[in-house]
Amino acid sequence: MRVSICTDHKSIVRQIVWLNESRSGVYVGMYDERANPHTSYHADGRHHVKITQQRKELVIFEEQRKPITSISGNESIITHGAFYTDEIMDRLPQLDSKRKETAIVLIGASIFRHVEALAMNTFIVNRKYERQFLGAMYADYETDHHELVTMNSFTLEHFPSHELSVVLYRVRPGESNMTYNFSGICLG
């Protein structure tokens, strides 16, 4: 499974976030050549977030969690923030016709009309728990403070009893309860 989450900017489809799976685990990252922020959730439960700074890969967070096949509900992987500014969007790669993705999620630019940022939470979800997960995501992200934009799920090839789910939401205009670091990764 390989997925690109993209948006339109100045009539060009730009890649924002990539999702990938292999036998060793699930990987999520942002298309940012400077910082290359990405996270890994390995099959054995090792979970870490890395970023590149001054050409060195730094581990900014790591912990041991449940192995993927032991997840009976859901496990959060990471929260990202995507800012819709000319400077950021112009440096993101264009969607390539020679791409290797098995799926593409396209976010219309109009979603950014009232806010300049979109938040994305990624989860590994046991497929038997999918219905409860969908209900919880709707309840958590359709609130006075947040607007649920979309939720997409992709069945994992190497862990077929599980899926990778991406929840896209935005903070309602006038709300600001998230803190972002220099690279645009949402930290809380």
Q: Which of 8-12, 41-45, 83-87, 154-158 has the lowest mean pLDDT?
A: 83-87
The pLDDT tens digits for 93-144 are 888 878 788 889 888 888 777 777 788 899 999 999 999 999 998 888 888 8
State the pTM of this model: 0.84
- Alpha-carbon distance of 60 to 48, in angstroms, equals 8
Longest CA span, the chain: 44
- Residue 38: what residue type? H
- Alpha-carbon distance of 57 to 184, in angstroms, equals 17
